[in-house]
Each structure stands twice: as structure tokens, then as C-alpha cells.
């Protein structure tokens, strides 16, 4: 985690915040391409972040071509309307949120046995008997070791 003079944060508070969140944003950029973004369920254990992707997801394809990714965990708190600050200046509105960005090097597997019994599957799987969406394919398991993280707050 890198320090922010504006928002000093205890690493234990960061871990506690991340543990309360169920979804995060995976950002992957293929070589020579533009970033691709997916909102995904996750579980973080120590420095391991476990995700479950759909193989047809462009972000999963980008990750396979370039495993250096960012994983953003954020939580919207509230907003302040501009007229609370200045009734004529709409630029004074403020969004309040908490966020942690992890810089990771991802590893993945599309083998069916790679996802069986994983903590993420137990946490995020639909109830037994829930039909799969039409055209659904096997998913890919993605794991990344959390590198540097930072916290931003507006």
C-alpha cells in the first residue's frame, strides 16, 4: 500500500473495508489496446484476490494477453448537491466514496476442477436448481496477488 498524505489509512482498516465488499472492478488492458472493465464477485484472502470470469468476457481475454491488471474495490457513500455549497456553481457537487486499487499480476485457469470447492464459488454461487443463462459457457478462474494498493476518497 502506498501512503497518501491527504488520506492516511491504517492497513487494517483497508482490509476490513475490502472484506465487507462482494464485488470489485477488474481493469485489464491488452497490449496496444484500450482498457477493458468488468464488475465481478471476489474474495480476498491475505494477498490473494480470487475472481470468477466468463470466458467470453473481453476483460478476461485482455487479462490473458497482459496479466498486469488493476482491481478496484469501491463503495459509494453519498453525494453533496452543489446548492449545499453554492447555489449557482454546479461544479461544487461532491461524490463521497471509499476505494482501494490493487495493482496485480493475474494467473488464471479454465479447467473445471480449478473452481470446484473454492471459497468464491461457495460465497457467490446461485442457489441450487437455479438455471444457467442461455448461452452460458464455463467460466475462468482468475487469481491475482495483490501488489501495491492505495485508498482514494473524494
Return the domain boundaries, the chain.
11-126+136-152
Are residues 53 and 40 in contact, defined by beta-carbon separation less than 8 angstroms? yes
Q: Per mean pLDDT, which of 47-56, 79-88, 110-119, 124-133 is the most reliable?
A: 47-56
Those residues with Cβ within 8 angstroms of residue 17's Cβ, 6 or more apart along the chain or in another chain: 73, 75, 98, 100
Residues 91 and 30: their CA atoms lie apart, in Å, by 35
The tens digit of pLDDT for each residue in 83-113 reads: 777 788 877 778 788 889 999 999 888 887 7
Rounded Cα distance between 149 and 152, Å, is 10
CATH class for the region spanning 11-126+136-152 = mainly beta
Q: Mean pLDDT across the chain, nearest whole number?
A: 79
Tell me: pLDDT of 152 over 50.
Answer: no
> Cα separation of 18 and 129, whole Å?
30
Query: How confident is the model over 128-132, as a mean pLDDT?
Result: 66
Do 91 and 82 touch, CB atoms closer than 8 A?
yes
Amino acid at each position: 500500500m502506498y501512503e497518501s498524505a491527504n488520506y492516511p489509512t491504517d492497513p487494517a482498516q483497508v482490509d476490513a473495508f475490502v472484506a465487507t465488499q462482494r464485488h470489485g472492478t477488474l481493469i485489464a488492458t491488452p497490449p496496444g489496446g484500450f482498457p477493458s472493465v468488468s464488475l465481478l464477485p471476489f474474495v480476498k484472502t491475505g494477498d490473494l484476490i480470487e475472481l470468477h470470469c466468463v470466458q467470453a468476457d473481453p476483460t478476461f481475454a485482455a487479462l490473458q494477453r497482459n496479466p498486469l491488471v488493476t482491481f478496484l474495490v469501491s463503495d459509494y457513500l453519498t453525494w453533496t448537491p452543489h446548492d449545499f455549497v453554492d447555489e449557482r456553481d454546479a461544479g461544487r457537487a461532491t461524490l463521497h466514496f471509499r476505494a482501494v486499487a490493487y495493482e496485480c499480476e493475474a494467473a488464471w485457469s479454465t479447467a473445471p476442477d480449478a473452481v470446484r470447492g473454492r471459497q468464491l464459488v461457495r460465497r457467490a454461487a446461485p442457489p441450487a436448481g437455479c438455471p444457467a443463462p442461455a448461452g452460458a459457457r464455463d467460466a475462468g478462474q482468475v487469481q491475482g496477488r495483490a501488489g501495491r494498493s492505495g485508498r482514494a476518497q473524494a
